[in-house]
Structures are given as structure tokens and as C-alpha cells.
Structure 1
């Protein structure tokens, strides 16, 4: 069984809800760096926000995701990450042309199996922290899908089903490995 599992994909695709269910079932989860950064930047009056300074926001997401990896003990069994280093690096590449190798280095930080939440218009909604529209969310998803596959990850698409079914899908897949 792999220890570090990334749940990535489309914004508004149900990733955080899935992580909440995995945590409820007793698994270790790591919250999305972006949401934590936004809350902190708003609290501090900072500008490393996606709608103010996207490049600064993504550089901070890289820093926070790297700290998350350092803070996690590999002895605790599977750890589920709501996004991570590769998501921030892929966004820097897509939006600012920064090569993945510059953001990631040579190592691939997570287990080989990655789960992607596909675009799901029926559940997508913008909020105070997710101000972009569905079209941008789909473009982000498409780039993440290509990036994870190009890096050699085995990508599994999450089914559009209940959160309980999605959790079962993820746990079955990682226990089969």
C-alpha cells in the first residue's frame, strides 16, 4: 500500500468533501495548501492571493506543500493530500511558463497512484476562496491530467458518485496496490 496519496483534479470537483470523508473514517489527511494560504493571507492582509498576485500565491503553495510533506510521518499508513506540490508546479507552468523541473526538482514526491476529480458541473460552485469560473476549472483540470500522466503517475478518475462511494473507490484502489 502506498503511503502518500494525492487527490487532485478539477476545482469544485468534490476533493475536499472526499478528504473529509476519508478523515471521518480515521485516515490521515492534509488540507489543500491553497485554501490555507488564502485564509492566512486574508487574515494578515497579504496579497499572495490568486486574484491579487497569482505567481506569489503559487510560490507560497509550493512552500506550504513541501512543508506538508516534511511534516508527515511515513509510518502512519496512507496519508491523503488535497492537492500538493505538483498542482502548484503545474499551475506555475501553465500560467507563467515555469518549467516543472524548476519547481519540483528531480524527485516525484507522492505515491504512483493519483486520483483526479473530473469536472462535475452539477456540484461546481464559486465561493469567497474560489472566484474563477467553471471554464477555468476545466482548463486547470486538463493541464493537471496531462501533467500527472507525463510525470509517470498512474491516474485514476474519481467516479461521479456519492462521497461514500468515492471513498470506497479510493480505499479499494490503494489497498489493491
Structure 2
């Protein structure tokens, strides 16, 4: 049975860097798609889709993450890592206090993962950029919403300690081999 593993956390916590390291070590990794959705919207003249049309943005993310999940299932890999999971979509909606359809929670329960690794806020590595508009305090709030959302879905959350990319990646791999 395929192990589906989510690496999640607020913005700027090192998720994508760890995913890149896992890919370098020849693991199947599904990348974060929110930047892609944001950049595609920019090409259509919408500067910050998440801020201007959050429900549309979240629908696009939800569809994209479900597609990643089902795409991973047909691949012949024992382990698949996801840079964010389906529940992240409604965790962010909760963060910005926007109502969303109950289907979000239904789909989060339908498409389940085996492990959830939560990357804690880490101010030393936090950087804002053109796609990441949140400040560090907002990143802390997002972290709390993510943690709450996964707990409400009855997931056991494993917090990844801060450290080098190698140490963080090794920690995750050691946890899933137990």
C-alpha cells in the first residue's frame, strides 16, 4: 500500500526545500501548486488571486491537490510526498475567515494521508517575496490554523524540528520507517 505523506506548515518554513531534497533522493514528490495558480492568474491580469477572489483560488487549489492525489495513486511508488495537502485549502480559508462549501471537509476526509509533517514557523529562514505576501506574525497564525485543521480531521501531526535541510529530511524519513 502506497504511503502518502504531507509536508505542511505556514509560509516560509522550509517545506519546499525539504521536498526538493526528497526529490533529489529519488522520492516521488508532488510540488506546491499555489504559486502556479497565482502566476497563471497574474498572466490573466489578476495580481493576487488569493486576496481578490479567495473562493475561486481555493477551488482551483482543491481541484489541483485532488488531481495530485489521484495522479500519485496510479504511479508505482511506495512513498509519495506532497508539498501541502488537501486540508490546507480550508485551513487557509479559516485563516482569512471566508466561508467555503462543506465539500472541502468531505474531500479532506475522502482523500486521506498516512503521515502529516508540520514545519514550525522559523523566523531565521523566513523571507517574503512576490508570491508570499504574509509577514512572520501572519505565518504564525497560518501555522495554528493548519495544526487545528489537521487535528480536527483526526490526524496525528509530527512536528519537524528546525535544523539543516539534511537533518530535517532525515528526521522525516526516520519517522516513516518506524
TM-score, reference length from structure 2: 0.89
Q: Deviations over 1:73-92 (max 9, x none)?
A: 25311111001210002222
Q: Which moved more, 1:121-130 or 1:1-10?
A: 1-10
Q: Which moved more, 1:7-16 or 1:47-56?
A: 47-56
Cα 1:170–1:108, aligned 2, differ >3 Å: closer, same or farther? farther
Superposed structure 1 runs of 4+ greater than 4 Å apart: none
The match for 2:125 is 123
The match for 1:163 is 165
Does the 8 A contact of 2:2 with 2:77 survive in 1? no
* Superposition pairs of residues 23-172 of structure 1, within 5 angstroms: 23-46=23-46, 49-72=49-72, 73=74, 75-94=76-95, 95-98=97-100, 101-105=102-106, 107-172=109-174
Does the 8 A contact of 2:55 with 2:100 survive in 1? no
RMSD: 1.9
Q: Which moved more, 1:10-19 or 1:87-96?
A: 87-96
Count, aligned residues: 175
Q: Deviations over 1:90-127 (max 9, x none)?
A: 2223421336x431316342323200010101101110
Cα 1:44–1:77, aligned 2, differ >3 Å: closer, same or farther? farther
The match for 1:11 is 11
Q: CA separation in 2, counterparts of 1:104 and 1:70?
A: 17
TM-score, reference length from structure 1: 0.90
Specify every segment of 5 or more residues in structure 2 that has no aligned partner in the other structure, as ranges.
none
